[in-house]
């Protein structure tokens, strides 16, 4: 009887996620709960989002996760999602669509994604963007400013001027295409910057 109870409790324990969802800070957050849906147990520091056959121009996102003093921070989970090459969120299990993924900063604070360059929404003046969220394990989660692209004709002067003081640091990137035709952008993240009630 006792071993049966122990066995049952082990099964129940295994069915419960070991890590609770982190507390949301930084004001109302549309989709903040989605960052936990389907999150893998093992998260590499660099993650492929779009499959190799996904239509679109390849894009490599790189960045460093820093604290407010500029010191690299390891073990921070960065979550990204974006539109496809037609400006749509392809249907998936999450309402963030299929083009989504997680990367965990390494000992140097570095993270990365390999994906495709998103298009802006159809018939919209909203610029191309990659949505980003941060999960600080055991502490908090919040969204930060999108990755925007300096060569995007939809980018306004007003948006440009707002970016440096934005949530989680400056999201405006300077895309460079390498000789393999892969766009490269750097998006460093400053933890807690512009996030209200950040602990
Ligand atoms: Fe969007």
Q: How far apart are CA 91 and CA 105, in angstroms?
A: 28
Domain CATH code at residue 64: 2.60.130.10
The model's pLDDT over 69-104, given as tens digits with 9 standing for 90+, comes to 999 999 999 999 999 999 999 987 889 999 999 999
3-state secondary structure 147-185: EEECCCCCCCHHHHHHHHHCCCCCCEECCEECCCCCEEE
Domain assignment of residue 101, given as a range: 25-190
**In this structure, is residue 198 part of a structural domain?**
no
**In this structure, is residue 46 part of a structural domain?**
yes
- 3 pLDDT tier (thresholds 50, 70, 90): low
CA of 82 to the centre of ligand 1 (A): 6
- 17 pLDDT tier (thresholds 50, 70, 90): very low
CA of 129 to the centre of ligand 1 (A): 6
- 165 pLDDT tier (thresholds 50, 70, 90): confident
Query: Per the structure block, which two tokens stand in for 168?
Result: 């989680």
**In this structure, is residue 5 part of a structural domain?**
no
The model's pLDDT over 116-132, given as tens digits with 9 standing for 90+, comes to 999 999 999 999 999 99
**In this structure, is residue 56 part of a structural domain?**
yes
Mean residue pLDDT of the chain comes to 91
CA of 4 to the centre of ligand 1 (A): 50
Query: Per the structure block, which two tokens stand in for 17?
Result: 């996620």
More confident residue, 157 or 15: 157
Q: How many domains does the chain fold into?
A: 1
């Amino acid at each position: 009887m006792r071993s049966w109870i122990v066995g049952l409790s082990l099964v129940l324990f295994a069915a419960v996620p070991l890590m609770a969802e982190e507390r949301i800070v930084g004001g109302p957050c549309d989709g903040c709960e989605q960052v936990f849906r389907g999150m893998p147990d093992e998260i590499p520091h660099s993650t492929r989002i779009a499959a190799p056959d996904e239509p679109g121009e390849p894009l490599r996102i790189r960045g460093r996760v820093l604290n407010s003093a500029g010191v690299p921070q390891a073990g921070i989970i960065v979550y990204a999602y974006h539109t496809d090459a037609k400006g749509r969120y392809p249907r998936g299990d999450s309402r963030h669509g299929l083009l989504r993924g997680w990367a965990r900063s390494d000992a140097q604070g570095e993270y990365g994604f390999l994906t495709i360059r998103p298009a802006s929404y159809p018939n919209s003046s909203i610029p191309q963007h990659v949505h980003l969220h941060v999960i600080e394990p055991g502490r908090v989660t919040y969204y930060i400013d999108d990755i925007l692209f300096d060569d995007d004709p939809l980018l306004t002067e007003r948006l440009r001027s707002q970016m440096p003081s934005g949530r989680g640091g400056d999201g405006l990137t300077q895309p460079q295409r390498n000789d393999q035709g892969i766009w490269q952008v750097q998006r460093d993240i400053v933890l807690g910057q512009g996030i209200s009630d950040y602990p």
